[in-house]
Structures are given as structure tokens and as C-alpha cells.
Structure 1
Amino acid sequence: MTRTHGASIAAVVLALLFAGGALTVASAEREEAPATPTSASADAGFARDMSVHHQQAVEMSFIVRDRTDDVEVRRLAYDIANTQANQRGMMLGWLDMWGLPKVESGTKPMAWMGMGMGGNGGTGPLEAALMPGMATKAEMDRLRKASGKEAEILYLQLMTDHHKGGVHMAQGCVEKCSVDIERNLAQGMIEGQQSEMGLMADLLKARGAKPRS
């Protein structure tokens, strides 16, 4: 056997070994890759419900920015609206990527957490359909009509309740969601909203008020 022929055989063997190793790694990666969430999963349920929850926070924040000139409250409202609008876009994008509907007919809010329905303590049909911490239509109407210090206090109280509900939902995702990036987002929501609740408590105290609960 010539040296050149021997080198060729060695090269082929090495190539086959490399290819086999690559196939093994690729197969392992496919086996470890998480399955796409189903429509009934906690991942999909959290993405849908928190998108709705976030949308109300964005709406409340835009309302108060038009009802007060206070720099601190307007800055907080802008931060909340910007953060939650971006997070909402991420969650809706995941639903698109997973090929799942953004609204699941026949599924009650919070079913993915085993709650069967949302609710914030209200007894009417509207209130019974709300998720934890969400403001009622009457509360949203009050915020639209208020101005100045009254609007600031009401917004801070409503948003504190809203954040408490949001933290509860995010904790559910941290425990139940299977997609790492979504669990990480949920954990970030918990930390961010808890920090904002501390700030809102200080802002309420400076206005002679306190959280409702």
C-alpha cells in the first residue's frame, strides 16, 4: 500500500467517524429539544392570559398620563406601558411561532393554573370573568374621569392590585411552564413588578394614601 493510498483511507475513516459523531450529537439535540407547547398547556395559557392582563395595564397607564401633570407618576406610567407592551408582543409572538390561537374559545381565564376562572372578588358576570388584579369597567371609568391627585392615587391603587395579580400569574408560570425562555420572562415579571409595587407604595404615602389591600 502506498503512503498516498494509506493517507486517503485514513482520511475517509476520520470523515466517517466525524460524521457519525455529528449525527449522534444532532440526534441528542433533537431528543433534548422541548416539544412545541399545546393549546391546553400552561405555556400557551399564560401567554394568552398575561397578554390580556398586560393590555389593561398599558391602557391604564396611557389614561393616567393624560389625567395628571405629575412627573413621577407619568414616568412610572410610561415605564409600565413600555415594558408591558414589549412583553405582550413577545408572548403573542410565541403563540404565533407555536402555531396556536391568541384566543382560545371555550377556555376560561386561568384554567391553565387550575383555577377554572379568574375573578377579583366581584359577583357580576363581568367581574367573574376578570383575572386576578384586573380593574373592573366601573374602575376604569372612574380613572378616565379623575384628574390630578385623585387620578394619581386611583391609578397607583389600581396598578398595585394589578401587579399583585400579575405576580400571582407569573409565579404560576414559573412553576408550570415548560419553555425556559417563558419561565425566565415570568421570573423577570415577578421581580420587576414587586419592585414597582414598592415604588407605588412610596408614591401613595407621599399623597396621604395607601394600597387598597
Structure 2
Amino acid sequence: MTGRTPADSADTRAATAVDVSSIESAGPAHWARRVIAAGAVLALLLLAATGGLLLGRSGAEETGVPDADSVDIGFAQDMSVHHRNAVQMASWARDNSGDPTVRTLAFDIESGQTAQIGQMQGWLALWDAAAFPVNGYMRWMSDMSAELGMGHTTDGMAQMPGMASTEDLARLRASTGPAADVLFLQLMLRHHEGGAGMLRYAAERAGRQQVRNLAAQMLTAQTAESQSIRQMLAERGAAPLPG
């Protein structure tokens, strides 16, 4: 079992925070709305983390703490990182899009995935596990690499499927108007569909019922969102990103 250190706690706070400092300012008119939104997101994250601790404590009493290389811990660590990437994109779109439909979708993704990060981080804290992976991603599902087309080794992947790169995020922040909405939808669709294999694997193979349940709920929600995003792209005369 990997123990937590003060550095782990600092990394957890930094990694689960919404990345607002790197997002271009939308002007004074949006300042109050951003403060309120950031406060709401933080409250949601803290509430979800508390819920995760309580649920994890109940499970720990029944079945013991998961092994460090278990699906349960690996999924919670990796999906926290994967979700954080989506929250970065969604928070930007919520503040910068002029399209009410896009803003609503972005808010739903930001709030839902922030709460889920809090729940998974609560479990990891209770299990005395590192908040995030330290030796590559997706080592907990290496037996599925061929089927999922991931090609990773026992050392893990450098990046998980669907993740927006630093360049993708910079391109999104530099975009404006309808083009920005389309790019956000394209990146989020790729993100959702890229993570589906991880969700399905955890829903079927995690050792703890609460982890399987959360993964299944994520898969259901993101599948529905992906269908909506495809329709939104079609309405805007755009197609999903290749690959």
C-alpha cells in the first residue's frame, strides 16, 4: 500500500482544483459569476469527498482495504485525473460560450465530474492510497490492452485515451464564438468516448460494490452526454474529431 504524505495532500488539493488561473479572463462583467461558480464547485467537491469517505469507511469495515494494485485504487486514481481534464474544458466553456445549450452542458459536466472527483478522492484518502498514479496510467487494466487497442505495458501509459493535450487546451482557450463551441464539443466527445473503456472495465471488475456502481453511473451519464454532443455537432454542421 502506498502511504500518503504531506506532499500527497498538497498535490491532491492542487490537482482537484478547477484550473481557473490559466483561463483567459472574460472581463469584469463575469467576475462575480466566476466567484460564485468557483465557490459552488469547491463546496460540491468538499461535500462529495466527505460522502466518499463515509461510503469508503463502510466498505472498508466489510471487506478490508483494497490492494495498491487493485482495480478499485487504480480506477479512482486514474479517473480523478481524467475527470480533472474534462472539468478544465467545461469550466472554460461555461464562462466563455455565448450559446446557452453549450453553457448548460458544460455546467452539468463540471458539477457532476467535480462531485465524482471528490467521491473518489475520499475513498483514496480512507484507503491511505496516493491521490494520483505515480508510475503511468491504466496499469490496473493491462490484461485488456489488446482488446481496447491501448498498447500499453506493465509500466502504464503516458496518457489516457481521450485526454485533451496541453496544445488542445491552448487551442480551445484561443478560440471564440461558434468555432469555440464546436471545438469544445469535439474535445469533450473524444474525452467521453476515450474513457468509456475504463468505466466499463471498472464497472465489471472492481472489487467493491460502491466502485462498480460509480463507474456504471459514470458510463451511463457519459454515454447519454455523448449522444447529445453528437447531435449538437450535427446541428452546427460539424463532425467529431477523427480517431
TM-score of the superposition, structure 2-length normalised?
0.67
Q: Which amino acid aligns with 2:189?
A: T
Report the CA distance shift for 1:165/1:115 in structure 2 as closer, same or farther (over 3 A): farther
1:71 alignment partner in structure 2:
100
- Aligned-partner Cα distance in 2 for 1:62–1:51: 16
Q: Which amino acid aligns with 2:111?
A: N
- Aligned-partner Cα distance in 1 for 2:86–2:63: 31
Helix, strand or coil: the match of 1:89?
helix
2:235 alignment partner in structure 1:
206
- Aligned-partner Cα distance in 1 for 2:132–2:144: 16
1:112 alignment partner in structure 2:
140
Query: Are the counterparts in 1 of residues 97 and 103 from structure 2 also a CA contact under 8 Å?
Result: yes
Query: Are the counterparts in 2 of residues 110 and 116 from structure 1 also a CA contact under 8 Å?
Result: no
Q: Deviations 1:30-72 (Å, cap 9, x if unpaired)?
A: xx93221021111000000000000010000111223321000
Q: Report which of the two structures shows the higher radius of gyration computed on alpha carbons.
A: 1
Query: Are the counterparts in 2 of residues 170 and 189 from structure 1 also a CA contact under 8 Å?
Result: yes
**What is the Cα deviation at residue 166 of structure 1?**
1.9
Report the CA distance shift for 1:104/1:160 in structure 2 as closer, same or farther (over 3 A): closer
Q: Which amino acid aligns with 2:190?
A: D
- Out of 161, 165, 171, the residue aligned to residue 200 of structure 2 is 171
Helix, strand or coil: the match of 1:33?
helix
2:122 alignment partner in structure 1:
93
- Aligned-partner Cα distance in 2 for 1:66–1:115: 41
TM-score of the superposition, structure 1-length normalised?
0.76
2:209 alignment partner in structure 1:
180
Q: Which amino acid aligns with 1:62?
A: S
Q: Which amino acid aligns with 2:122?
A: G
Query: Are the counterparts in 1 of residues 78 and 132 from structure 2 also a CA contact under 8 Å?
Result: no
Q: Which amino acid aligns with 1:61?
A: A
1:138 alignment partner in structure 2:
167
- Aligned-partner Cα distance in 2 for 1:46–1:207: 35
- Aligned-partner Cα distance in 2 for 1:96–1:65: 30
- Aligned-partner Cα distance in 2 for 1:54–1:81: 9
- Aligned-partner Cα distance in 2 for 1:190–1:204: 21
Query: Are the counterparts in 2 of residues 48 and 91 from structure 1 also a CA contact under 8 Å?
Result: yes
**What is the Cα deviation at residue 136 of structure 1?**
1.1
| 1:53-72 matched pairs, under 5 angstroms | 53-72=82-101
1:22 alignment partner in structure 2:
none
**What is the Cα deviation at residue 115 of structure 1?**
6.6
Query: Are the counterparts in 2 of residues 42 and 112 from structure 1 also a CA contact under 8 Å?
Result: yes
- Aligned-partner Cα distance in 2 for 1:115–1:140: 31
- Aligned-partner Cα distance in 2 for 1:114–1:138: 28
**CA RMSD across the alignment:** 2.0
